Amino acid sequence: MTYTVGHYLAERLTQIGLKHHFAVAGDYNLVLLDQLIEQGGTKQIYDCNELNCSFAAEGYARANGAAAAVITFSVGAISAMNGLGGAYAENLPILVISGAPNSNDHGSGHVLHHTIGTTEYSYQMEMAKHVTCAAESITSAETAPAKIDHVIRTMLREKKPAYLEIACNISAAPCVRPGPVSSLHAHPRPDEASLKAALDESLGFLTKANKVAILVGTKLRAAEALKETIELADKLGCPVTVMAAAKSYFPETHPGFRGVYWGDVSSPGAQEIIEGADAVICLAPVWNDYSSGGWKSIVRGEKVLEVDPDRVTVNGKTFDGFRLKEFVKALTEKAPKKSAALTGAYKPVMLPKADPAKPLSNDEMTRQINELVDGNTTLFAETGDSWFNAVRMHLPEGAKVETEMQWGHIGWSVPSMFGNATASPERKHVLMVGDGSFQLTAQEVAQMVRYELPVIIFLVNNHGYVIEIAIHDGPYNYIQNWDYAALMQCFNQGVPGEESGKYGLGLHATTGAELAEAIAKAKKNTRGPTLIECKLDRTDCTKTLVEWGKAVAAANSRKPQSV
């Protein structure tokens, strides 16, 4: 068998730990898809469309560390751009690979199908460059290895997405074989002088402080320092809170854990700890309009030691040339005990059990879902009140929560969980998604039926865009109602003559008792997804959503600055 450009790419993807890649066929990528199958290192998983394909890769990367999606030129790739944007916003290294025009067509004056009808095809690469850390176009086998290695090495180092387009007549062209994967993982050595200076300044800052606290931020997982943060918290003995987008990045069973800090909508006690501290170690925070509650709560300034993925800022000075993980490890070695702010015990909010015969409430639904979450569960929370329901849950050791609080593309969670469950079949997957979000990517549930993924989907049917209603209401926030549970019947058709792809289960829950019964059935459905349609009153949402929504609406409606 001739070793080809496609085999080289497939071998590199296998070497960096992928066991699957996602794809939607198109005539520009069919030969490439053959090469990936032929090399056999990663299983080819199909999606209903390229938006879902790119989000499935994003979800796979959340579990696996990296991922790849293969789509066709222009009509496929431009849909996948949304997944690239989301992966960029959420710091996830996915590689989107687009089939591309025949290398002979460039400069030929040919008008090609699937393009915008011009004779120039570089617009796609130009678009991709804005939402990736590296982007390359392969039109010859000779340059393919260097370009493939460049995009993979960069995405792994930056924890950002990358883009590759391969001319359809080059995928099967003969190619040299790759060397060891270690060259793709190399990180620059830390600058010792800068690291020491940052450490000395930070130790001086902490030694003078009395009430010290840690705030775990959005990018800490991408900085690969979750374990190191636990060690720092153990050494300092101080309280630890997490930002909403970092929920589950720090174990909630740890003696220092004190809830979620989200300004005025923080967990009980968390706001007092952070805003009452005289030294806050902020680890990889992202302060945007949502995380700051409409710019009202940003933890920054002279009482803050801010540790970003590649920079430390403290006492009015800033230091770089090392990675967050290296700094946190060095700080832990010399950090003093600072437990003055750790008072009392953490009291998670316990929701009372509702009367099972009463109409289902948001609180009762959240309580029952929280009970379902164990140490082997990955809980996906879609944009909407699902965020606030996930944030108020209390997690057992090992539970993970996945959100997309920076990009916030509604519907992301369905394909992303599909990808995550594909990457981590040993874990249990639970999704909370609103009816509005679900309508954007619902068809990907059919792929969960096809691949027999035993995930549980809580479809929150509250008849509209409730988070938008809280921010700014209007006729545009109301949607067509579906019988969401009935979709499973539609998706269960399977493949004629084949046994697989028929085990989706759709259930309705209008009371606490019906929800409990549905969850019991979902636990027994091991050969396919279970979608439980939870009927809630439109006004039944978390108080935190309403309060936060008002703050965000106020931020959105700021008057233009008068010049």
Ligand X SMILES: C/C(NCc1cnc(C)nc1N)=C(/S)[C@H](O)COP(=O)(O)OP(=O)(O)O
Give contact residues for ligand X (rule: CB under 6 A).
382-385, 408-410, 434-437, 462, 465-468
**Contact present, 62 and 412 (Cβ < 8 Å):** no
CB of 479 to ligand X, least distance (A): 7
Choice between 148 and 390, CB closer to ligand X: 390
Choice between 149 and 385, CB closer to ligand X: 385
Burial class (CB in 10 A: 0-12, 13-18, 19+), 292: buried
Choice between 409 and 428, CB closer to ligand X: 409
CA distances from 342 to 259, 277, 534, 537 (A): 13, 11, 39, 40
SS3 302: coil
Choice between 90 and 435, CB closer to ligand X: 435
Choice between 233 and 467, CB closer to ligand X: 467
Look-up: residue for tokens 């300044």? 201
CB of 156 to ligand X, least distance (A): 28
What are the backbone dihedrals phi and psi of residue 555, each rounded to the nearest 5 degrees, phi first? -65, -40
CB of 106 to ligand X, least distance (A): 33
List the one residue out of 57, 84, 83, 86 whose CA is nearest residue 69: 57
For the chain, the C-alpha Rg in angstroms (whole number) is: 25
Choice between 241 and 406, CB closer to ligand X: 406
CB of 436 to ligand X, least distance (A): 3
Calpha distance 77→269 (Å, rounded): 46
Look-up: residue for tokens 């379902």? 372
Choice between 91 and 362, CB closer to ligand X: 362
Q: Which residue is nearest to ligand X (CB)?
A: 434
CB of 391 to ligand X, least distance (A): 13
Buried b (16+ CB within 10 A) or exposed e, 496-507: eeeeebbbbbbb
SS3 172: coil
In the chain, the amino acid numbered 85 is: G
CB of 187 to ligand X, least distance (A): 35
**Contact present, 378 and 63 (Cβ < 8 Å):** yes
Choice between 301 and 474, CB closer to ligand X: 474
CB of 464 to ligand X, least distance (A): 6
CB of 86 to ligand X, least distance (A): 10
CB of 81 to ligand X, least distance (A): 13
CB of 412 to ligand X, least distance (A): 8
| 546 sits in which H/E element | helix 543-556
| 182 sits in which H/E element | helix 182-185
Choice between 148 and 457, CB closer to ligand X: 457
Q: Which residues make Cβ contacts (< 8 Å) with residue 105, sequence separation at least 6?
A: 112, 121
CB of 433 to ligand X, least distance (A): 6
Q: Is the dihedral of CA 31, 67, 58, 389 positive or negative?
A: positive
Choice between 172 and 286, CB closer to ligand X: 286
Choice between 79 and 194, CB closer to ligand X: 79
Q: Which residues make Cβ contacts (< 8 Å) with residue 90, sequence separation at least 6?
A: 58, 404, 406, 407
DSSP 481-545: ---TTTHHHHHTT--TT-SSS---EEEEESBHHHHHHHHHHHHH-TTS-EEEEEE--TT---HHH
Two tokens, residue 92: 């996830």
Choice between 332 and 439, CB closer to ligand X: 439
Calpha distance 103→172 (Å, rounded): 13
CB of 475 to ligand X, least distance (A): 13
